[in-house]
Structure 1
Amino acid sequence: MSSTANTANFVNIAAYKFVTLDDLDALRPQYQALCNELGLRGTILLTPEGINMFLSGSREHIDQFLAWVRSDARLADLEWKESLSSEQSHKRMLVKIKKEIITMRMPLIKPELGRAPSVDPKTLKRWLDQGHDDEGVPVVMMETRNAFEVDVGTFNNTLDYRIEKFTEFPEVAAQHKDELAGKTVVTFCTGGIRCEKAAIHMKNIGYERVFQLDGGILKYFEEVGGDHYTGDCFVFDYRTALNPKLEPTETVQCFACRAVVTPRQQLSPDYVVGKSCPHCAGKAAPAQEAAEPAGNAAGR
């Protein structure tokens, strides 16, 4: 484990589960009260199709929270991914009720009723090492994240269709189905949510061989490291990006336009902390009020 991890005071967890939750109005104040009591910070999304969360706190308090969550029979098998940091990765605590864990606007997709096939990180690494799956079929990696996230880092030779929001993915998948015939397609995302929905949709429209990367990039980093991956992984919190050792990097987000600014771009005279970056300098765009990053990409 790195020296950064050895001196870290906070545990960051990303977790989700697709399961029917029909008591959202009752759950929300319970979650909010416990998180406040334990000093946790982050975001929890409660939806009719399940729960999604990214939280930061002390080891003791994170463990207390997870034990409480799993005392709900519907969430007894909840799994999560962890990383460590010297500061809490979120600045406030939000518990929200939403329509979907991640917006896709495809109501026929119900992961709770059956997942698409998945591949674990170690098996995927072996497939990528050998260039094909265990049946000899060529493996193709497919992005389900937004373009600005991909630009921070992704798997080598991946299919990146430069989508701007996840609701664009179904159309993109349909457009490219024929050209991917005879390939094993592995969808992936940050933490597993988007690639799970994506793989189910692809099965529904006729893809013959499609798998989701179980646990997403963060689980791959945790179990495998950075093999076959170039760059870092964007996360929607104040760390902005994690390297394959799950350590925060020097990548930041611009206060004014929220664009990702790499360490090299931070050397530009157009990068003024709190005011502008090379993406927005000179453009007529009002500075945005500092706010908790939207959504929960670390669990996506």
Structure 2
Amino acid sequence: MQSGPILNISSYKFVLIADAPTLRETLYQHALELGLKGTVLIAEEGINLFLAGSAEAVRGWVAALQQDARFADLAPKESWSEAVPFKKLLVKVKPEIIRMNMPAIRPDQLPRAPALPAKTLARWLDQGHDDEGRPVVTLDTRNAFEVDYGTFDGAIDWRISKFTEFPAALAAHREELMGKTVVSFCTGGIRCEKAAIVLQQQGLDGPVYQLEGGILKYFEETGGPHYHGSCFVFDQREALGAGLEPATEIMRPASEAHRG
């Protein structure tokens, strides 16, 4: 449901981009012309974007991007706000669109871990097991301060301070996941997609999934059962509730030194 005149979108795709500097200039100029604000990250491994503006401008920018065959299936998640939650427009070329510091983990070149639809996860959590009767654990791949805003009931949280710490945390806690169906999740799907590949390489004896579209898609499709609190977002809205509206009651973490 629309609540506010500003359309906010987030999306990502792991796909080989050999012309990142050229693409960066094209996308920046078009977004600038349309008056959009936010951040677009481009790397050889793909694209990650958060933009806001009028619905016509945002959707026009996306439609132009989708004319490129590499991004034809891009399906941004949408939410609405009263004001633009970004101060400026940034379009950058980076080594990774989500930094893990593991060059061999290239989702654009490796098989994707199975994606679990939001409604299936909600059903599994309702019944307490997956469809094979195996216990299900949700694994939060976000930073500790984000988890403190809200997470799934009983989610595994290794209190990492940045995503680059995830592989080491997994190696240290691998045995916790044995014999279970593991569903990795994050805000919008990008971190848990990389994390799921690392999970698969650990030789776990149960299925590994990534939550399709992350927490925000789960909110959109289910209304948020089995999730307590809000979902931190990296813009001026700070956190979103299960209705994808800016959260009015926020459980802030003890430390505010969290945006690095």
Which residue pairs with 1:153 in the alignment? 150
Which residue pairs with 2:203 in the alignment? 206
Q: Alpha-carbon deviations, 1:226-249, whole Å to 9, x = none?
A: 200000000000000000000012
Distance change (3 Å), C-alpha of 1:155 and 1:64: same
Q: Please report how far the alpha carbon of residue 177 of structure 1 lies from its aligned counterpart in structure 2 after TM superposition.
A: 1.6
Contact 1:240 1:251 in 2 (8 A): no
Which residue pairs with 1:232 in the alignment? 230
Q: How far apart in 2 are the matches of 1:238 and 1:77? A: 28
Contact 1:218 1:246 in 2 (8 A): yes
Which residue pairs with 2:37 in the alignment? 41
Q: Where in structure 2 are the equivalents of 1:1-300 lying within 5 Å?
A: 1=1, 5-6=2-3, 8-112=4-108, 113-208=110-205, 209-250=207-248, 262=252, 279=255
Q: Which amino acid aligns with 1:216?
A: G
Contact 1:241 1:251 in 2 (8 A): no
Normalising by the residue count of structure 2, what TM-score does the alignment of the two structures yield?
0.94
Q: How far apart in 1 are the matches of 2:201 and 2:75? A: 26
Q: Alpha-carbon deviations, 1:24-76, whole Å to 9, x = none?
A: 11111111110011111100001010000000011111111111000111111
Larger radius of gyration: 1
Normalising by the residue count of structure 1, what TM-score does the alignment of the two structures yield?
0.82
Number of equivalences: 257
Q: Which amino acid aligns with 1:214?
A: E
Question: What is the aligned-residue RMSD (CA, Å)?
Answer: 1.7
Structure 1 stretches of at least 4 aligned residues deviating more than 4 Å after TM superposition? none
Distance change (3 Å), C-alpha of 1:155 and 1:56: same
Q: Which blocks of at least 5 consecutive residues in structure 2 are unaligned?
A: none
Q: How far apart in 2 are the matches of 1:13 and 1:157? A: 29
Q: Which amino acid aligns with 1:25?
A: P
Q: Which amino acid aligns with 2:227?
A: Y
Q: Alpha-carbon deviations, 1:96-152, whole Å to 9, x = none?
A: 110001110111112123201110100000000000001110000111000000000
Q: Which blocks of at least 5 consecutive residues in structure 1 are unaligned?
A: 253-260, 266-277, 286-292, 295-300
Q: How far apart in 2 are the matches of 1:251 and 1:64? A: 34
Aligned identity (percent) is: 56
Q: Please report how far the alpha carbon of residue 279 of structure 1 lies from its aligned counterpart in structure 2 after TM superposition.
A: 4.7
Q: Alpha-carbon deviations, 1:177-203, whole Å to 9, x = none?
A: 223211001100000010000010010
Q: How far apart in 2 are the matches of 1:179 and 1:158? A: 12
Q: Which amino acid aligns with 2:117?
A: D
Q: Please report how far the alpha carbon of residue 251 of structure 1 lies from its aligned counterpart in structure 2 after TM superposition.
A: 6.2
Q: How far apart in 2 are the matches of 1:229 and 1:250? A: 16
Distance change (3 Å), C-alpha of 1:251 and 1:118: same
